[in-house]
Amino acid sequence: MSAAAVPNLRDLYLSESGQIRARYQESGDGMAAVRERAALVDSIAQQLYSTFIAHEPGSAEGFCLAALGGFGRKVLFPGSDVDLLFLTADGRTEQQYKPGIASLCREMWDLRMRVSPATRSLAECGRLYRDNLEFNVSLLDCRYLAGDPQLFARLHDVVVPQLVVRERQALVQNLAELTRTRHTKYGQTIFHLEPNVKEGPGGLRDYNVACWLALISALEKRQPRPPAGLLAQELREDCLRAFDFLCAVRCFLHYRQGRDDNALSYELQAEAAAAGVGAKANRALEPAEWMRLYFRQARIIDRAATQFLDDVEGARSSLYHAFDDWRSRLSNADFQVSHGRILLRQSTAMEDASTALSLFEFVARHGLKISRDAEHRIEKALPLLRQRLPGLPRFWDRLRTILTLRYAADALRGLHRTGLLTILLPEFHFIDALVIRDYYHRYTVDEHSFIAIENLHRLRQAEEPRFAEILAETERPELLFLTLLVHDIGKGMPAENHIVGSLQVLDPILARLELDADAADTVRFLVANHLEMSVALSRRDIFDPETVRALAAKIGTPERMKMLCLLTYTDIKSVNPEALTPWKAEMLWQLYAETINHMNRSLDEERLHPGQLPVARAHPETTGDELKEFLAGFPKRYLLTHSAAEITQHLRMAEALAEAPVQLSVEKRSHHYELTLVTTDRPMLFATIAGTLAAWGMNIVKADAYCNQAAVVLDTFHFTDLFRTFELNPTEIERFQNNLLSVLSGELSLAALMAGRAKPGGMRPAKVTIQPRLTFDDHSSSHSTLLELVAQDRPGLLYHVSSKLAKQGCNIEVALIDTEGQKAIDVFYLTVGGAKLDAARQKALAEALLQDI
């Protein structure tokens, strides 16, 4: 029989298809379109069944036609395959109906439908096909079309459920494996410049996976089947809305392309936006705004699928079980760890703001995922958390902890996903799913910030050793992480540029966090200047001394330079996976190294003059004149590295010299002690202080020595208490200070002190051998000779070095002392008799120093 035997079928199909398309284009309702199309194909298939099969003898028994896959779910997209199952009671029946099956399929092909037929017996449907588990999965969506209803009922109500119960593990594992493979193919991210709305993470296939897993779970528990393709109980409304949106998009693509093409290309994004596909009332949107809508929906679907997948209990290897058991030991009073996910104990009050944050601290620490149930409990607690979280005391302490833990990005994504991040930082809403629509920015702005934090943490895994070392030297890395979180908020604001926008919202954020003034200044500075190095890389000659000088002047201090370099590194690296090429990383590092070297070598040149009045740094208690006089002659860096309060303290110490010739203070910091000493310059001063510290068993990690025009010396030493002398005996701090005063006044002999106190044997043997290195530089400063010294760090090293300098008649104009692991890195600006060191003096000094180090 031919199509002529089914009169007007072609006309019917074309006409109805056209009307479905017209209705879709009018309404934008993708769900309605796919349902109508499924109903149309139902009708066609049933008519053709009547024509080619139903007339056969005995056709009422032992044979039926069913819909599978998307067709079975009544979700048939314009370009999708039509999956048919010709079900027979046994193998003999199949032969009888072969001609009819062939005719039916041929007719559907002639109608331009892509038919995907399968012929199976009932027994065959009950088998697990390990090399074709997709067929078994497609049976989950089977739907009666025509033929023997009892036969179909046995498939739908008995055979398939029995298969699921018996082979649940294999089915679920297979689905999980297929999904993971697919996600890996798409880079484990929903963020693509041209996403695939069907196969990509967060796409329609992920929705199907979530539905199948829920269905398998229901069948296993002998619960009623949910409506095909819908999971009203399992998935939230926003997931169903996201599915509706994706249906509309896929319909748009199929109609536009005339085939099963699911790639949302750059050009098609603009068309979809202009047509308002999936938008409220089909309102036309700008392409970037429309893609923001897309990513918000994809994120919802991705989350649902991920949660269902994470619930999968596979027959994993015993090795995995052993690892899993180990992770369960991380459980605590509030959180239980099971199968790599965090569950809330019954008693855990998610409504408590502190507990809610503790959960994400737990995620940041261990990198574990939050279970579906735990996320539901957070959602239920949201109304109360909205009231309680903003007032959380010591919020910065909690946020700092999260930011600096290894899996901070995972925790932040969790906070964002559950809505808690925008409660804590309402400003973050500006960049929620915000798209920067060009071929360079792959991620939405919020995701870019999370990835940047992730990349900064990855540096610690020694991905890029040079930059990893810079991170290790950074004094307050938490400020860097905070900057990464907020630096691009301005992109979502109507400001003249995103830096201005970010700075506008920054002050309220910093105020809520109650950061100290220096920290707030640093974050402000980093946000304001986070593009400086990128601009220098792309638009300036980084080997031009003027470029370096200008950058150094703008950045000011080595500490800020380090932070800005890391900020630039991670910012570029997080734009897209290829953005930070080795070429660019090399340029960045060279610019950083040149600028840091310039900062350290030009200290002497850039001094404060009496005419300069640092009004901004003046403390209300000081007068302009006394401050000017005190500051005159100090390097400009002094102003940049000390707060107004510190400068005032130093000024007061200088004023008190009239009463006591040496003023000093010792203060405890978070990881070290800080000795500040103000006195008039004298020979052997620096060496004496260093020696006294060494005699007390203190390890100097950093030191600065400056001298002003009035020959007032300001020395700052950061040291660690190797033997915990001060920690265990706080009264020893005062005794140390008295000791130092006595040594400086000559009442006590330093040599005797050093002979009688702790020996350097307390240090562990060096793990790394540092070759000593001395470099003299007569060009960087017009007044002094720079000596750069690198040596194996040990207690007393600085004393020995500075003693040698003094014995050789050198005056230390400026000293910059630093330690990097077991490496001492010291820079001295030296003069002899007010002039640079001549060649002979340099040679003698080098020989003397090398003997010691």
Partner 1 sequence: MTKIEAIIQPSKFEAVKEGLQEIGVEGMTVTDVRGHGRQKGHTEVYRGREYTVDLVPKVKIEMVVPDDLVERAIQAIVGSAKTGKIGDGKIFVSHIDDAIRIRNDERGQGAL
Binding residues for partner 1, per CB under 8 A? 537-544, 581, 583-584, 586-587, 590, 593-594, 596-597, 770, 773, 775, 788, 790, 818, 820, 823, 825
Distance CA 229, CA 231 (A): 7
In the three-class reduction of DSSP (H, G, I as helix; E, B as strand; rest coil), residue 132 is classed as: coil
Nearest to 777 by CA among 660, 605, 612: 605
- At 120, give phi and psi (nearest 5°): -145, 150
Q: Smallest distance, Å, CB 604 to partner 1? A: 18
Q: Which helix (H) or strand (E) holds 673?
A: strand 673-680
In the three-class reduction of DSSP (H, G, I as helix; E, B as strand; rest coil), residue 571 is classed as: helix
Distance CA 481, CA 649 (A): 31
Provide CB contacts within 8 A for 778, sequence distance 6+.
785, 786, 836
Q: Smallest distance, Å, CB 811 to partner 1? A: 24
Smaller CB distance to partner 1: residue 539 or 779?
A: 539
Q: Smallest distance, Å, CB 572 to partner 1? A: 13
How many CA atoms within 13 Å lie on the side-chain side of 680? 9
Smaller CB distance to partner 1: residue 374 or 599?
A: 599
Which letter does DSSP use for residue 263 in this model? B
* Helix axes of 445-459 and 408-417: crossing angle, nearest 10 degrees: 160
As given in the structure block, the two tokens for residue 223 are: 């619960």
Q: Smallest distance, Å, CB 842 to partner 1? A: 16
Provide CB contacts within 8 A for 213, sequence distance 6+.
172, 175, 308, 309, 311, 312
Q: Smallest distance, Å, CB 822 to partner 1? A: 12
As given in the structure block, the two tokens for residue 534 are: 């990128």
The beta strands (E) that lie in 172-264 are given as: none
Smaller CB distance to partner 1: residue 322 or 462?
A: 462
CB-CB contact of 584 with 573 (8 Å): no
Smaller CB distance to partner 1: residue 132 or 775?
A: 775
Smaller CB distance to partner 1: residue 391 or 439?
A: 439
Smaller CB distance to partner 1: residue 581 or 623?
A: 581
Q: Smallest distance, Å, CB 466 to partner 1? A: 9
User: What would you report as the CA-atom Rg of the chain, rounded to the nearest whole angstrom?
Assistant: 36
Provide CB contacts within 8 A for 204, sequence distance 6+.
197, 198, 243, 246, 247, 250, 301
Which letter does DSSP use for residue 200 in this model? S
Q: Smallest distance, Å, CB 528 to partner 1? A: 23
Q: Smallest distance, Å, CB 18 to partner 1? A: 34
Q: Smallest distance, Å, CB 540 to partner 1? A: 5
Smaller CB distance to partner 1: residue 29 or 594?
A: 594
Distance CA 651, CA 632 (A): 12
Q: Smallest distance, Å, CB 584 to partner 1? A: 7
Q: Smallest distance, Å, CB 824 to partner 1? A: 9
Residue with tokens 């899996």: 407
Which letter does DSSP use for residue 602 in this model? S
Q: Smallest distance, Å, CB 531 to partner 1? A: 15
Other CB atoms closer than 10 Å to residue 598's CB: what's the count? 18
Smaller CB distance to partner 1: residue 439 or 583?
A: 583
Smaller CB distance to partner 1: residue 649 or 792?
A: 792
Smaller CB distance to partner 1: residue 541 or 838?
A: 541
Provide CB contacts within 8 A for 504, sequence distance 6+.
490, 493, 495
As given in the structure block, the two tokens for residue 556 are: 């000011």
Distance CA 109, CA 103 (A): 10
Q: Smallest distance, Å, CB 770 to partner 1? A: 8
Smaller CB distance to partner 1: residue 374 or 470?
A: 470
Distance CA 652, CA 659 (A): 12
Distance CA 241, CA 232 (A): 12
Which letter does DSSP use for residue 852 in this model? H
Q: What residue type is assigned to position 224 of the chain?
A: P
Smaller CB distance to partner 1: residue 397 or 586?
A: 586
CB-CB contact of 100 with 66 (8 Å): no
Q: Smallest distance, Å, CB 467 to partner 1? A: 13
Smaller CB distance to partner 1: residue 74 or 562?
A: 562
Other CB atoms closer than 10 Å to residue 547's CB: what's the count? 17
Distance CA 40, CA 591 (A): 66
As given in the structure block, the two tokens for residue 29 are: 């309702």
Other CB atoms closer than 10 Å to residue 489's CB: what's the count? 27
Q: Which helix (H) or strand (E) holds 338?
A: strand 335-338
Distances (CA, A) of 274 to 33, 110, 286, 403, 431: 20, 35, 7, 40, 22
Q: Smallest distance, Å, CB 600 to partner 1? A: 9
Smaller CB distance to partner 1: residue 128 or 468?
A: 468
Nearest to 617 by CA among 627, 606, 630: 627
Q: Smallest distance, Å, CB 603 to partner 1? A: 16
List, edge to edge, every strand of the sheet that includes 335-338: 335-338, 341-344, 369-370
Smaller CB distance to partner 1: residue 324 or 469?
A: 469
Smaller CB distance to partner 1: residue 674 or 820?
A: 820
How many CA atoms within 13 Å lie on the side-chain side of 574? 27
Q: Smallest distance, Å, CB 825 to partner 1? A: 5
Smaller CB distance to partner 1: residue 622 or 780?
A: 780
